Structure 1
Amino acid sequence: MSQPRVRHILSLSGGKDSTALAIYMRDRVPEMEYVFCDTGEELPETYAYLRKIEAFLGKNITVLNPDRPFSHYLDIYRGVLPDAKTRWCTRMLKIKPFERYVGNDLVFSYIAIRADEVHRKGYISSKSNITPVYPFIDDGITKTDVYRILEESGIGFPDYYKWRSRSGCYFCFFQRRIEWVGLLENHPDLFDKARGFEKFDPETGERFTWNQRESLDELSRPERMEEIKASRQNCLKNEEKKGLIDIFFEDNNDDDQPCLICHL
């Protein structure tokens, strides 16, 4: 009986941490496979960044696609948009394609959780043939090191970090309001597409919106956008006074952290 082959796989999200890990592991594990789970709902900046990563690695990034598009699964879930509790988009558009690609091979799955965020939970498959590996934790790599790795490689950061703090779909429900404003200003067509997925039943009052507190119609009103921008500026000033300002607008008070197969 032939033995199952052993594979090393690193799943890229188009974000800073998984990119830094790919750079870090390039010469350490030459046989590494690099994959990207493409939901079909990604930002154009993500695809441009992946091309830069490919050029640096000198390897093709295998693109994994779901069986059906997001809109198909939205119909199956009767218009109920994914949220932090259900995350059906991650399951159907990311995890299933990845596990199908892995098959029954013995796989070491490399996860870019840093040494300064060991409290976070990455995607850990229930499949017994997939073993998670955490090089950044093992080697004490922190956020500062990630910045250095990206800068020294020449890859730098994805362009969407100018207005967005995470990788992932353009309609990701983990976006903060200021990031929705950024989407509207940078990609109004994608904002309108995301708005089109929202539903409101005037008879029952039931709402399916990306944000629990307001719809994208409400958020996109000029006066509301100005409120959000002003609030963001006040937060930046307060953080700067406390010495906490960062080049990304990360919020450590978030109770719900995104699944790391999407957002590393």
Structure 2
Amino acid sequence: MPSQRDIIEQWAARPGRHIVNLSGGKDSTALAIFLHDKIPQLEYVFCDTHKELPETYAYLDRLESFLQKKITKLNPERGFDHWLDIYGGMLPSAQVRWCTRKLKIEPFEAYIGNDLVWSYIGIRADEGRNGYISTKPNVHPVYPFKELGMTITDIEAILENSGLGLPEYYKWRQRSGCFFCFFQRTGEWIGLKEHHPDLFEQAKAYESERGGEHFYWRQRESLAELEKPERVAQIKREHAFRLEQERKRRPNRPLIELLGAILDAEDDEKGCDICHL
């Protein structure tokens, strides 16, 4: 049976371009750190929506310093607002995800062109998903963590040993991506209001100025309704109750796992496989 080192050497020997597409989240960051001294020809790419959290940009800057290699930022002039204008002010939603296509998929595929590409994806062995796989025949996905049997415990160790640790936003949010992402859980919206009230106000402004009378990021309630004191108090009570129940059910698990479980329990909408890596 080949060793971990043998497997990675086989990957590194493949002809073509080797790319890690970063999201600003823990898994793709850990993958970049894990592979950077094993596959020296790796390229690092970040599809910038221009609407990421400040913590995300700061985390990517720290990662770039650690790697001692440039992270190529795509969409330098065409961020979210550009495409919002092109789409006539129609805000994206889970049903019409033009943001994913225009800000993530198309820029990446334009960047790689027709080159043979090995796309390294940071999905772990303890996850039941595959992430986005390009339909271009020249792009081949590689899942190092899945193939090597690496789980959340390994990812946390990689980040801790590197000195980067987890992104700061993981204290209240479990996904990378735009600060107004419609896939955010209820508790994450409250976290945005408490940690970045200015960005919460911007998200509200999109609802009133762009979305029209009946469009909300959350579909079932506006952010103006969500931020009412009685609603916030209700959400916090339910959040605290679920966290305590999860601690009793899994007493030895790290907080990041517990928070992820209870946030997912708040809403059942599946998140974006491209942004959430």
Structure 1 and Structure 2 fold alike (TM over 0.5): yes
Matched, 1:14 2:27: no
Residue 257 of structure 1 is aligned with which of 262, 265, 270?
A: 270
Secondary structure of 2:46's counterpart equals strand
Secondary structure of 2:20's counterpart equals strand
Secondary structure of 2:141's counterpart equals strand
Instruction: Tell me what 1:121 maps to.
Output: 130
Matched, 1:188 2:197: yes
More divergent stretch after superposition (76-85 vs 146-155):
76-85
Listed one character per residue, the Cα deviations across residues 58-106 of structure 1 (whole Å, up to 9, x for unaligned) are: 1111111166332333344444432223322111111111111101111
Residue pair 2:48, 2:79 contacting (<8 A) in 1 also = no
Number of corresponding residues:
256
Residue 39 of structure 1 is aligned with which of 44, 49, 66?
A: 49
TM-score (structure 2 length as normaliser): 0.86
**Percentage identity across paired residues of the two chains:** 60
2-structure distance, mates of 1:230, 1:246: 21
The 5-angstrom pairing of residues 169-184 of structure 1 reads 169-184=178-193
Shift of 1:28: 1.4
Matched, 1:239 2:249: no
Q: Any stretches of 5+ residues in structure 2 without a counterpart?
A: 1-14
Residue pair 2:183, 2:272 contacting (<8 A) in 1 also = no
Matched, 1:159 2:172: no
Instruction: Tell me what 1:29 maps to.
Output: 39
Shift of 1:260: 2.9
Report which of the two has the higher share of helix.
2
Higher relative contact order (CA 8 A, sep 6+): 1
Residue pair 1:13, 1:36 contacting (<8 A) in 2 also = yes
User: Runs ≥4 in structure 1, deviation > 4 angstroms?
Assistant: 252-255
1-structure distance, mates of 2:60, 2:79: 21
Residue pair 1:199, 1:207 contacting (<8 A) in 2 also = no
Residue pair 1:66, 1:92 contacting (<8 A) in 2 also = no
Q: Any stretches of 5+ residues in structure 1 without a counterpart?
A: none
2-structure distance, mates of 1:257, 1:30: 35
TM-score (structure 1 length as normaliser): 0.90
Instruction: Tell me what 2:144 maps to.
Output: 135
Residue pair 1:8, 1:32 contacting (<8 A) in 2 also = yes
For residue 199 of structure 2, what is the amino acid of its counterpart? L
Secondary structure of 1:19's counterpart equals helix
Matched, 1:209 2:216: yes
